Amino acid sequence: MSARSPVTCHILDTQFGKPAANVAVTLFRLEGGGSSFNSLAESVTDADGRCTTLLPPQTLMAGTYKMHFATKSYFESTGRETFFPFVEIVFDLKNPDQHYHIPLLLSAFSYTTYRGS
């Protein structure tokens, strides 16, 4: 088992080329035979746009997970409007021994993600 959260994230505001701080992040796991997501953890990105302590060090079960990023309040705090009130990234955690890093490259009218390291 790793000595860090098994799932972490990082948000970069690509319009400014700077981290997106103070964005609420929630991690969910798909339960009930695929019928509903249950909340596992909540946190907020730090000054570097990272959420590295979302969960305590542990081994998660393989399954389908979802990261919810509350982007509307972030954009409002910077005086900008956004097309996306939130962003959700659904991913399969297939190997519980691995670390899963979810980067979000964000602007007011687009976003992209990838599996980070």
- Assess whether pLDDT exceeds 70 at residue 1: no
State the Cα angle at 99 between 8 and 115, rounded to 5°.
70
DSSP 88-109: EEEEEE--TTS-EEEEEEEETT
Q: Domain 7-113: give its CATH code.
A: 2.60.40.180
Name the nearest CA neighbour of 49 among 6, 81, 89, 14.
14
pLDDT bucket at 35, cuts 50 / 70 / 90: confident
Q: Across all residues in the chain, what is the average pLDDT?
A: 94
According to the annotation, is 50 in a ligand binding site?
Answer: yes
How many other C-beta atoms can be found within 10 angstroms of the C-beta atom of residue 56?
A: 9
Identify the pLDDT of residue 17: 96
User: What is the predicted pLDDT for the residue at 32?
Assistant: 81
What pLDDT, on a 0 to 100 scale, did the predictor assign at position 82? 95
Average pLDDT over residues 33-46: 94
- The pLDDT assigned to 63 comes to 95
The mean pLDDT of 33-45, rounded to a whole number, is 93
pLDDT of residue 69: 98
Global pTM value: 0.93
Q: Alpha-carbon distance 32 to 16, whole Å?
A: 41
> Is 80 one of the annotated binding-site residues?
no
Query: Given a cut of 60, is residue 22 above it in pLDDT?
Result: yes
Residue 50 to residue 23: CA distance in whole angstroms = 9
- Residue 42: pLDDT band with limits 50, 70, 90: very high
Residue 4 known to bind ligand: no
